[in-house]
C-alpha cells in the first residue's frame, strides 16, 4: 500500500516546511496555465496573492485539458437521481454541455465578473452551471437547495446576483423540493439585481404515478427562461476566458452556525492549486478510481471535492441527488455496490445516523470495492471512527479525518493514506505546506513555549494558496473575524489539542468550549463519552450558566433504537461520562430527546440549545434544517424544568 500511494515520501513534510513556495508551485505546475506567474506569493498580512500574474481558467483545467489529452471517453459523472434514474457523462459530454450552458448564460447577459446564484439539487446541471460560470469568468454563489426563501433573498441581494439558475424541483427524501416556487418567493421580497431565472426541468409533468403533487411556482414571462429552450440553441462553443490567478472564482456563504452568513471569497489559481493537490494526495486518486463525495455542492466540500479538486484530477465520480434513506436505509450502500465506489467521503453526522439505523443495512450490500474512507464537517468521535473503519471499510480501508473550513478552501489537517499511522478521532497532522499550531488567549505559541502535549486555540501561521481572500462586501469583517484576535496568525475559531506525537485532536468551535469550575471542557469530549455508552446514538452538550461553577453541563441525547428513557438509565449515562473523563465532566442535566437542532449541513446548533437551557428567546433559526425541532425541544425542556 505505502509504496503505491500518490504522496508517499515522508520527507515531503520537511521539504514543504523549508520551502513552502517551491512546494506549492510544484503543485501549481500540475495545472495548465495560459500564462505563467511571475511571483509565487505576495503576502501583506492579511492579504495574500498567489501565483501573481498567472493566467488560468478553472473550467479548462477541470474539463478541456482532459479531453485534449485523449481522455474524452473517460466517464466523468455517474449521476444517480433519487428515483433511481442514471445519467452517464464522459469528459467529452461535459465539455459539450458546459459550452452550451456558457452560451446560454452569455445570451442572458452574463459577463465576466457578474454574480450568478445557483439554487438546485445535486446533479449534473448544478455542476455544469458552476463550471460554465468559471468558463465565462462569472462568479458563482451556490445556495444549498434546501434553504428557505428568507435565507435565499439575503444571499441573492448580498451578492448582487444578475442571474439565478434553478430547477422546477429536486428530489429529496421521497419528496419534491419546490425550488422554483421558493425562488419566486425570494424574489417577491425584493431582489432588484436579478434579470433572469433560468429553470431546468428536473421533475417534469406529468409526475410519476403515485408521487405527491408539487407546486412549480408561477411563470414570469420575460424573467423566467426554460433551460431546454436556451441551452443548445444559443450556441455550442464558448472559449475559456483567461482569468487572472487572483480573479474571483466564487463566493460561498458559510452555513451560519455562528451568526449572519459571510460571503467567503475564493480566487482562481491558488484555490485550484490547493484543491487539486489535496484531492490527489489525500484521496490518493488513481485513474481507475470511482470517487464519491456525498456532500452537496451547496457546501464548500461540494465545491472543493465534487467539482474542482476531483475534476482537475480527471477522476470518475458518483453524483447523487437525494437522501440516504430513500427508498430504504441502505441507499448509500446500494450506490457503492452499483457503481463500485472505491473512495467514499462523508460526514460524521451521517456516520452516526447509519450507526443508529443498524449494521444490517451496510452488511446486506457488497462494499468490497471500497479502498479509502474520508470524514469531514465535525470532529468524529472515536466510536464512530471505529464503526466507519470496521463496518463500512471491513477494517481494511484507511480512514482520513480531514479538518478544514469554507475559509481554508482545501483540507488543512489530515492523515496521508499509506504514510500516516492514524489514531481514531484524530485528524493527525497538517498537510505539507500548512503550518498549524496552538495559541493561548494571549497569542502565545504554546507549542514553542511548552512543547508537546498542548491544548488551546488552533491557528494557521502561514498563508496558503486556497485561503479565503475576503468577505464579499465587508472587508472590515474579514480582518476582524480572522486576523484581529492574534497579530501574526489566522484564527480558525476552533479549539484543538496536540498530543505527545504532535497529532491534532479537534475540539470543535471555541464558542462551544465550556468553563466548568475553572476548567476548560470541550463539548466534543463529553459528547464522545456519551455516545460511547451503548444506549446513546447521538448527543449534544452545552454549558449552561451556573452561579457557583460558572457553567454547568447540560446534555441532550438521542437513544438508540430499543432503549427506553428512565431515571436509572439517565444516571447510568451520566456516570459513564464521569468514568470516562472525570467527575468534573459529569452532566448536571440530561435530557432524552427525539431530535437535535441541526443546520442544513447536519451540524448541531449548540447556540440554540444554550438559548433553550438558559430560557432566552431563540436566536436566528433561519439556517436550521427543521425549525420545529427546536420548538418541540423547548416545550419538552420547560415541562420538565417545571
Ligand atoms: P459558520 O462558520 O457559518 O458558523 P461552519 O463553520 O459550520 O459555519 P464550515 O466552514 O462548513 O461552516 O465548517 C468548518 C468547521 O467545521 C470547522 O471550523 C470545524 O469546526 C468543523 N470541522 C470540519 N471538519 C472537521 C474535522 N474533520 N474535525 C473537526 N471539526 C471539523
Ligand atoms: Mg465556520
Per residue in 286-345, pLDDT (tens digit) is 999 999 999 999 999 999 999 999 999 999 999 999 999 999 999 999 999 999 999 999
Do the beta carbons of residue 138 and residue 113 sit within 8 Å? Answer: yes
Q: Say yes or no: CB of residue 376 within 6 Å of ligand 1.
A: yes
Q: Say yes or no: CB of residue 428 within 6 Å of ligand 1.
A: no
Do the beta carbons of residue 455 and residue 495 sit within 8 Å? Answer: yes
Kindly report the protein residue whose alpha carbon is nearest to atom 24 of ligand 1.
377
Kindly report the protein residue whose alpha carbon is nearest to atom 13 of ligand 1.
405
Q: Which three cell numbers stand for residue 295?
A: 456532500
Distance from C-alpha of 577 to C-alpha of 561, rounded to nearest angstrom: 21
pLDDT value at residue 208: 57
SS3 state of residue 512: helix
pLDDT value at residue 256: 63
Per residue in 49-103, pLDDT (tens digit) is 999 999 999 999 999 999 999 999 999 999 999 999 999 999 999 999 999 999 9
Kindly report the protein residue whose alpha carbon is nearest to atom 21 of ligand 1.
378
> What Rg value do the Cα atoms of the chain yield, rounded?
24
**Contacts for 401 with CB less than 8 Å, ≥ 6 apart:** 374, 375, 376, 380, 385, 414, 415, 422, 425, 426, 427, 428
Q: Which of 506, 508, 510, 411 is nearest to 467 (CA)?
A: 411
Ligand 1 atom closest to Cα of residue 492: 18
**Ligand of minimum distance to the alpha carbon of 407:** 1
489 alpha carbon – ligand 1 mean position (Å) = 18
Chain-centroid distance of CA 122 in Å reads: 14
Per residue in 19-53, pLDDT (tens digit) is 999 999 999 999 999 999 999 999 999 999 999 99
405 alpha carbon – ligand 1 mean position (Å) = 5
Kindly report the protein residue whose alpha carbon is nearest to atom 31 of ligand 1.
378
Q: Say yes or no: CB of residue 257 within 6 Å of ligand 1.
A: yes
Q: Say yes or no: CB of residue 402 within 6 Å of ligand 1.
A: yes
**Contacts for 616 with CB less than 8 Å, ≥ 6 apart:** 610
Of all helices (H) and strands (E), which one includes residue 533?
none
**Ligand of minimum distance to the alpha carbon of 492:** 1
Distance from C-alpha of 509 to C-alpha of 524, rounded to nearest angstrom: 9
pLDDT value at residue 204: 84
Q: Which residues in the chain are classed under CATH 3.40.50.12780?
A: 11-401
Per residue in 188-215, pLDDT (tens digit) is 999 999 999 999 999 986 555 666 678 8
Helices (H), 32-164: 58-59, 65-66, 91-107, 124-136, 149-159
DSSP annotation of 608: H
Choice among 220-234, 463-477, 622-636 with the minimum mean pLDDT = 622-636
Q: Which CATH architecture has domain 11-401?
A: 3-Layer(aba) Sandwich (3.40)
Do the beta carbons of residue 63 and residue 311 sit within 8 Å? Answer: yes
Pick the CATH number of 513-641 from 3.80.10.10, 1.10.3720.10, 3.30.70.270, 3.30.300.30: 3.30.300.30
Q: Say yes or no: CB of residue 512 within 6 Å of ligand 1.
A: no
Q: Which residues in the chain are classed under CATH 2.30.38.10?
A: 436-509
- Burial string for 124-150 (b: 16+ CB within 10 Å, else e) reads bbbbbbbbbbbbbbbbbbbbbbbbbbe
Query: Would you tell me how many other CB atoms lie within 10 Å of the CB of residue 86?
Result: 10
Of all helices (H) and strands (E), which one includes residue 375?
strand 372-375
Distance from C-alpha of 291 to C-alpha of 314, rounded to nearest angstrom: 11
Query: Would you tell me how many other CB atoms lie within 10 Å of the CB of residue 225?
Result: 19
Ligand 1 atom closest to Cα of residue 264: 10
Q: Would strands 490-498 and 115-119 be described as parallel, antiparallel, or unpaired?
A: unpaired
Q: Say yes or no: CB of residue 456 within 6 Å of ligand 1.
A: no
Confidence tier at 418 by pLDDT (50, 70, 90): confident
The pLDDT > 90 percentage for the chain reads: 83
Q: What's the chain's length in residues?
A: 642
Ligand 1 atom closest to Cα of residue 599: 7
Q: Which three cell numbers stand for residue 227?
A: 433551460
Q: What is the mean pLDDT of the chain?
A: 94
- Region of residue 395 (phi > 0: left; psi between -120 and 50: alpha; otherwise: beta): left
370 alpha carbon – ligand 1 mean position (Å) = 26
Distance from C-alpha of 291 to C-alpha of 306, rounded to nearest angstrom: 9
CA atoms within 13 A on the CB side of 184: 16
254 alpha carbon – ligand 2 mean position (Å) = 7
Per residue in 519-535, pLDDT (tens digit) is 888 898 899 999 999 99
Q: Which of 405, 427, 434, 506 to mutate to test the pocket of ligand 1 (most atoms within 8 A of CB)?
A: 405
Task: Print the SS3 string covering 417-473.
Answer: CCCCCCCCCCCECECCCCCEEEECCCCCEHHHHHCCCEEEEEEECCCCCCCCCEECC
427 alpha carbon – ligand 1 mean position (Å) = 13
Kindly report the protein residue whose alpha carbon is nearest to atom 18 of ligand 1.
405
pLDDT value at residue 1: 45
79 alpha carbon – ligand 1 mean position (Å) = 27
pLDDT value at residue 260: 76
267 bridge partner residues: 248
Distance from C-alpha of 171 to C-alpha of 81, rounded to nearest angstrom: 8
406 alpha carbon – ligand 2 mean position (Å) = 7
The class level of CATH for 436-509 reads mainly beta
122 alpha carbon – ligand 1 mean position (Å) = 21
Q: Say yes or no: CB of residue 494 within 6 Å of ligand 1.
A: yes
Kindly report the protein residue whose alpha carbon is nearest to atom 17 of ligand 1.
405
Q: Which of 394, 381, 323 is nearest to 352 (CA)?
A: 381
DSSP annotation of 356: H
**Ligand of minimum distance to the alpha carbon of 415:** 1
Ligand 1 atom closest to Cα of residue 623: 3
pLDDT value at residue 2: 44
490 alpha carbon – ligand 1 mean position (Å) = 15
Per residue in 205-260, pLDDT (tens digit) is 655 566 667 888 999 999 999 999 999 999 999 999 999 999 999 999 986 666 67
Amino acid at each position: 500500500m505505502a509504496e503505491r500511494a500518490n504522496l508517499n515520501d515522508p520527507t515531503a513534510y520537511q521539504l514543504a516546511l523549508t520551502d513552502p513556495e517551491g512546494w506549492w508551485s510544484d503543485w501549481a505546475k500540475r495545472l495548465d496555465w495560459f500564462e505563467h506567474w511571475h511571483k509565487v506569493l505576495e503576502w501583506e498580512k492579511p492579504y495574500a496573492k498567489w501565483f501573481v500574474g498567472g493566467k488560468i481558467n478553472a473550467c479548462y483545467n477541470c474539463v478541456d485539458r482532459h479531453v485534449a489529452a485523449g481522455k474524452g471517453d473517460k466517464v466523468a459523472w455517474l449521476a444517480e437521481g433519487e428515483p433511481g434514474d442514471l445519467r452517464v457523462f464522459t469528459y467529452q459530454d461535459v465539455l459539450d454541455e458546459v459550452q452550451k450552458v456558457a452560451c446560454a448564460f452569455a445570451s442572458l447577459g452574463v459577463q465576466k465578473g457578474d454574480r450568478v446564484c445557483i439554487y438546485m439539487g445535486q446533479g449534473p446541471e448544478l455542476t455544469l452551471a458552476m463550471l460554465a460560470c468559471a468558463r465565462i469568468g462569472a462568479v458563482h454563489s451556490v445556495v444549498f437547495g434546501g434553504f428557505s426563501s428568507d435565507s435565499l433573498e439575503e444571499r441573492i441581494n448580498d451578492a448582487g446576483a444578475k442571474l439565478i439558475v434553478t430547477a422546477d424541483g429536486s428530489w429529496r427524501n421521497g419528496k419534491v423540493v419546490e425550488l422554483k416556487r421558493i425562488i419566486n418567493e425570494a424574489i417577491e421580497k425584493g431582489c432588484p439585481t436579478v434579470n433572469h431565472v433560468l429553470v431546468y426541468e428536473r421533475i417534469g409533468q406529468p409526475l410519476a404515478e403515485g408521487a405527491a403533487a408539487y407546486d412549480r411556482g408561477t411563470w414570469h414571462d420575460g424573467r423566467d427562461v426554460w433551460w431546454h429552450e436556451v441551452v443548445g440553441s444559443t450556441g455550442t462553443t464558448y472559449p475559456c476566458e483567461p482569468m487572472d490567478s487572483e480573479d474571483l472564482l466564487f463566493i460561498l456563504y458559510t452555513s451560519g452556525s455562528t451568526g449572519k452568513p459571510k460571503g467567503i471569497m475564493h480566487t482562481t489559481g491558488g484555490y485550484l492549486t490547493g484543491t487539486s493537490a489535496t484531492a490527489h494526495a489525500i484521496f490518493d486518486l488513481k485513474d481507475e478510481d470511482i470517487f464519491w463525495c456525498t456532500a452537496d455542492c451547496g457546501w464548500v466540500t461540494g465545491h472543493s471535492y465534487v467539482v474542482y479538486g476531483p475534476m482537475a484530477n480527471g477522476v470518475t465520480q458518483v453524483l447523487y441527488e437525494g437522501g440516504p434513506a430513500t427508498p430504504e436505509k441502505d441507499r448509500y450502500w446500494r450506490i457503492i455496490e452499483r457503481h463500485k465506489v472505491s473512495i467514499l467521503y462523508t460526514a460524521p453526522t451521517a456516520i452516526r445516523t447509519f450507526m443508529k439505523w443498524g449494521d444490517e443495512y451496510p452488511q446486506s450490500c457488497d462494499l468490497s470495492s471500497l479502498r479509502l474512507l474520508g470524514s469531514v464537517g465535525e470532529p468524529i468521535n472515536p466510536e464512530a471512527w471505529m464503526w466507519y473503519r470496521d463496518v463500512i471499510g471491513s477494517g481494511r480501508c484507511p480512514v482520513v479525518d480531514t479538518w478544514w473550513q469554507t475559509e481554508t478552501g482545501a483540507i488543512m489537517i489530515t492523515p496521508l493514506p499509506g504514510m500516516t499511522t492514524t489514531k481514531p478521532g484524530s485528524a493527525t497532522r497538517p498537510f505539507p505546506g500548512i503550518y498549524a499550531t496552538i495559541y493561548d488567549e494571549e497569542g502565545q505559541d504554546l507549542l514553542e513555549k511548552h512543547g508537546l502535549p498542548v491544548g488551546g486555540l488552533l491557528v494557521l501561521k502561514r498563508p496558503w494558496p486556497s485561503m479565503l481572500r475576503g468577505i464579499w462586501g465587508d472587508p472590515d469583517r474579514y480582518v476582524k473575524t480572522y486576523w484581529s484576535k492574534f497579530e501574526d496568525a489566522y484564527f480558525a475559531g476552533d479549539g484543538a489539542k496536540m498530543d505527545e506525537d504532535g497529532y491534532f485532536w479537534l475540539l470543535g468551535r471555541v464558542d462551544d468550549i465550556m468553563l466548568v469550575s475553572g476548567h476548560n471542557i470541550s463539548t466534543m469530549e463529553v459528547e464522545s463519552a456519551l455516545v460511547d455508552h451503548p444506549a446513546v446514538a447521538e448527543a449534544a452538550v452545552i454549558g449552561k450558566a451556573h452561579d457557583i461553577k460558572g457553567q454547568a453541563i447540560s446534555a441532550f441525547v438521542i437513544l438508540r433504537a430499543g432503549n427506553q428513557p428512565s431515571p436509572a438509565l439517565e444516571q447510568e449515562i451520566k456516570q459513564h461520562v464521569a468514568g470516562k473523563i472525570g467527575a468534573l465532566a459529569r452532566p448536571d442535566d440530561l435530557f432524552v430527546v427525539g431530535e437535535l437542532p441541526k443546520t442544513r449541513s447536519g451540524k448541531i446548533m449548540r447556540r440554540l440549545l444554550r438559548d433553550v437551557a438558559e430560557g432566552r428567546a431563540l436566536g436566528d433559526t433561519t439556517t436550521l434544517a427543521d425549525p420545529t425541532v427546536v420548538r418541540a425541544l423547548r416545550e419538552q425542556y420547560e415541562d420538565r424544568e417545571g
